[in-house]
């Protein structure tokens, strides 16, 4: 069992989705917010992981079979390792269908990432 903590990007409510952290330009992060954001950026800090994340996020239908995204210049075991790291960071979810695993980026994850990197309204 891994001791990796899931990245709590969002707190869900009935109507609105709240990101973990305010936009970078709004105010300085608290220590907890910085830890949360750093885990996300660390997971995306590897070029292969970023390519895999991008491949899943941009794939038609919003999900991708591992068989469709594994051509990133590394071996299949390495692809599996990187996908596991993205899942552990809370950036991807997966579902096994027969012998293949399908990955997706939850829309709330992309929304949280977008909010984090958005310019605060006062600065726009």
The pair phi, psi for residue 95, each rounded to 5°, is: -145, 130
Q: What is the C-alpha to C-alpha distance for residues 56 and 108, in angstroms, rounded to an integer? A: 15
Q: Would the pTM count as exceeding 0.95?
A: no
Secondary structure class of 49 (helix, strand, coil): helix
Binned at pLDDT 50, 70 and 90, residue 114 comes out as confident
Q: Is the pLDDT of residue 81 over 90?
A: yes
């Amino acid at each position: 069992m891994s001791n990796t903590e899931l990245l709590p990007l969002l707190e869900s409510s009935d109507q609105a989705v709240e990101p973990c952290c305010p936009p970078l330009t709004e105010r300085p992060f608290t220590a907890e917010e910085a830890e949360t954001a750093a885990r996300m950026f660390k997971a995306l800090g590897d070029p292969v992981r970023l390519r895999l994340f991008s491949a899943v996020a941009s794939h038609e239908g919003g999900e991708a079979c591992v068989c469709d995204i594994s051509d990133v210049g590394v071996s299949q075991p390495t692809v599996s390792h990187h996908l596991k790291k993205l899942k552990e960071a809370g950036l991807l979810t997966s579902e096994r269908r027969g012998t293949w695993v399908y990955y997706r980026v939850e829309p709330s994850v992309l929304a949280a990432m977008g909010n984090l990197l958005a310019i605060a309204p006062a600065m726009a």
